[in-house]
Amino acid sequence: MKFLNTLMAALLAALPAAGAMPMRSTAVAEIAPYVFPANKPAAVSMEFMPDGQSYVERSDDGRRLIVRAIADGAEQGVLFDIANTRETTLPDFEGFSISPDASRVLLWRMAQPVFRRSFDAEYYVYEVRSRLLRPLSKEFGRQRDPMFSPDSRMVAFVAQGNIYCAKLDYNSEVAVTEGGSTGGTLFGATDWTYEEEFGITAAMAWAPDNLNLCYVAFDQTSVPEYSLPLYRGTCDPLEQYDLYPGWQTVRYPVAGKPNSRVSLHSYDVETRKTKQIDLPGNPEYIPRIAYGPVPEKLMVSTLNRDQNRFELFAVNPKSTVAKSVYTQQSSAWIEPVVYETLWLGDDSFVVASDADGYTRYSRYSYTGTPMGDISQPGTDATDFYGIDSRGNAYWQAAAPTPLDRTVYRRDQKGKITEVVGSQGNASAEFAPGMAFMLSRHDNTDTPPVYSLCRADGSQARVVLDNEAYAQRALPLKAAKEFFAFSANGFEFNGYMIKPAGFDPSRRYPVVMTQYSGPGSQSVLHRWSLDWEDYFAARGFVVVCVDGRGTGGRGAEFRTAVYRNLGHYETIDQLAAAAHIASQPWAGRIGICGWSYGGYETLMAASADAAPFAAAVAIAPVSDWRFYDTVYTERYMLTPQQNETGYNSSSALRRATSLTCPLLVMYGTLDDNVHPANSLQYVSALQSAGILCDMFVFPNMNHSINGCNARPVVYGRMFEFFSDRLK
């Protein structure tokens, strides 16, 4: 009996205390209204009609497409009614696009993601006049990236790696390419790297006369494969992996490894013949193709592998002759805005450059002759919308301060006026003809408001004011204060969110959040409701500072990080921490971030004399040798070219210098920042006998979204910081 009593006492002593027993986190439930998807304001979903005077929106029940006048919102008719079709009936549809002459509508349903932006789906073509509804393809149940021809009589699409052309008048289809496959050579659809880093899912272009279809081929066969495990999971369980995991395999080129070999081709619709178009210099990347005003001008954007030389070619697809019309060279990298916002007009094109130290739009003839600058000097232009028939040019810029986004217009006489903006975050989407636009404007205290406006910015009417959302969100939102401080020879912009009833005589735990990636900006006059507001409500001060490398401040500030990522960002985050620590109300300080922000969290938390009491890194890069070619080499070149930079920029190599408790979180199906980044980092800690916390999200990608995951991410972060900062 004495032995049994002793054994029982020992067992009871070994059990965790009641307070340490696993339990549901109250923070997870409490934080849910603050984070995605509950924190997302409503957005407008509409498509302008080709006439530039009307638009299409879905009915409230989602079963009809209604045409309305832009000027007054009056209903002008029903473009599509799911209950009134011939030949084919659908139970529902998820999305739509309108043909160039509005005679047909593409509808899709049952969409399944391919990568972050791309998806395949069941597509159907609806003829407005006859009400005839048919599948886009007779041969393939699912397609991706369909594209109407300019005359609306054909649709090019991709299925199983090949391009097909559906001839709608004849209800037939022909193969444009053959030999394609999702894991081999892709025709027309982009590979993982192009989609992720160049922001496009398709690389096809119809000629203005409908006689040619040009496309890019992606030979992926030399690109190494990366496999990620698939588990059963509990949310939308994958039953086939109940006992043994499966695998998702992606062609993913890490820095210094082979990319897809790209080639440009032209398909003649009448003869069904294909020609390969050889570009001078055999450029590494073709991030954009699009036709100019005539069939003889296919405009092809190219980059070298170092991404410091951009060249624009005018290509005649029939003769295959390519002429260089514009070249831009950089001492660092070509900003993506150069090819992402390239505008092609009837007699000229507009392209961005930072030759004068700030991103600026300039106009050129199709022979490459300069026709003058458009956007104002001394500010970073961030988007270009076009030039109307009267010669008025429209663009967006980081002005009147780098923390704002404003839409501007330059008239024929050179006068620049503000169209949408003032302080805050403004953008625009113009209707065909540019007589009207859909504007979006928000600021720190006001959720997004969508308005239909005339081109001069005068409001026709508000489409969505997010008033219902505001009534729910504003009681949750904490006040955001903006500040600036000087260090390391620069003035840095920041914001802080304080608890209600803030008392400067008290001490508060501080969480520094940042992203820090090249060209990014976190400190902006824009609306946000997120985990930061919950933390403030629970007694934290949340601080964010944009250091060197971030955007809106000109090329010198942005490119300071070239070839040495993590160096100046860390110096500036430590300076921000020192500035905050000097405030009488500042208690213990933690730092956190996601993706690049997770990388910078690891760098800052392992720096000499780092002042942080805790750190949380979510889906972090730990060594740039693990990340993809396009993004990494843009800022670092290849490991072979810049070994010293890769070594000094590696969070993995300085893991054993970690100065504070660390929590790492990631998704096991992250095809962007691979789990190896986190696992290798933890392995380095383990080998050195250093402890850290980890939370893993099975079958979640880089966004760690859905299945209640986002509240868990921030609920876990809240509890971690509460334990270590308070």
Assess whether pLDDT exceeds 90 at residue 5.
no
Angle at Cα 270 formed by Cα 268 and Cα 275, nearest 5°? 20
Mean pLDDT computed over 499-520: 98
Would you tell me how many other CB atoms lie within 10 Å of the CB of residue 619?
A: 29
- The tens digit of pLDDT for each residue in 138-181 reads 999 999 999 999 999 999 999 999 999 999 999 999 999 999 99
Residue 389 makes CB contacts below 8 A (sequence gap 6+) with: 433, 434
Please give the full DSSP string across 103-122, using - where no structure is assigned: SEEEEEEEEEESSSS-EEEE
3 state SS of 304? coil
pLDDT of res. 692: 98
Please give the full DSSP string across 581-623, using - where no structure is assigned: HTSTTEEEEEEEEETHHHHHHHHHHTSTT---SEEEEES----
Asked, as a colleague might, if the bond just before 16 is cis with ω within 30 of 0, I would say no
Tokens of 311: 């060249």
Contact status, residue 135 vs residue 124, Cβ threshold 8 Å: yes
Q: What percent of the chain has pLDDT over 70?
A: 97
Task: Report which of 309, 305, 214 is spatially closest to residue 259, judged by C-alpha positions.
Answer: 305
In which residue are the tokens 């985050």 written? Answer: 573
What is the C-alpha separation between 616 and 597, in angstroms, rounded?
10
Q: Which one is predicted more confidently, 422 or 717?
A: 717
Contact status, residue 602 vs residue 523, Cβ threshold 8 Å: no
In the chain, the amino acid numbered 173 is E
Strands 309-316 and 298-303: antiparallel
In which residue are the tokens 């790297």 written? Answer: 193
- The tens digit of pLDDT for each residue in 56-83 reads 999 999 999 999 999 999 999 999 999 9
3 state SS of 626? helix
- The tens digit of pLDDT for each residue in 681-726 reads 999 999 999 999 999 999 999 999 999 999 999 999 999 999 999 8
- The tens digit of pLDDT for each residue in 194-244 reads 999 999 999 999 999 999 999 999 999 999 999 999 999 998 899 999 999
**pLDDT band for position 23 (cuts 50, 70, 90):** low
Assess whether pLDDT exceeds 90 at residue 10.
no
Would you tell me how many other CB atoms lie within 10 Å of the CB of residue 465?
A: 15
What is the C-alpha separation between 122 and 390, in angstroms, rounded?
42
Assess whether pLDDT exceeds 60 at residue 22.
no
pLDDT of res. 235: 87
What is the C-alpha separation between 336 and 635, in angstroms, rounded?
12
Task: Report which of 267, 329, 268, 259 is spatially closest to residue 287, judged by C-alpha positions.
Answer: 259
Residue 1 makes CB contacts below 8 A (sequence gap 6+) with: none
Assess whether pLDDT exceeds 80 at residue 4.
no
Q: Count helices and strands (H / E) in the chain.
A: 13, 43
3 state SS of 156? strand
Tokens of 338: 């150069």
Contact status, residue 50 vs residue 101, Cβ threshold 8 Å: yes
3 state SS of 474? helix
Assess whether pLDDT exceeds 80 at residue 186.
yes
Mean pLDDT computed over 470-493: 97
Assess whether pLDDT exceeds 60 at residue 20.
no
* Backbone conformation region of residue 549, classed left if phi is above 0, alpha if psi is from -120 to 50, else beta: left
What is the C-alpha separation between 648 and 642, in angstroms, rounded?
10
Cα separation values, 385 from 354, 410, 430, 574, Å: 18, 12, 7, 39
3 state SS of 710? helix
Assess whether pLDDT exceeds 70 at residue 18.
no
- Cα dihedral 692/695/699/705 (nearest 10): -120
What is the C-alpha separation between 547 and 514, in angstroms, rounded?
9
Strands 541-546 and 508-513: parallel
Assess whether pLDDT exceeds 60 at residue 116.
yes
What is the C-alpha separation between 452 and 81, in angstroms, rounded?
25
Mean pLDDT computed over 592-599: 98
CA Rg, the chain, in Å?
A: 27
Task: Report which of 502, 512, 497, 660 is spatially closest to residue 579, judged by C-alpha positions.
Answer: 512
- The tens digit of pLDDT for each residue in 316-348 reads 999 999 999 999 999 999 999 999 999 999 999
CA atoms within 13 A of residue 713's CA, in its CB half-sphere = 29
What count of residues does the chain have? 726
- Cα dihedral 221/226/232/236 (nearest 10): -70
What is the C-alpha separation between 239 and 453, in angstroms, rounded?
51
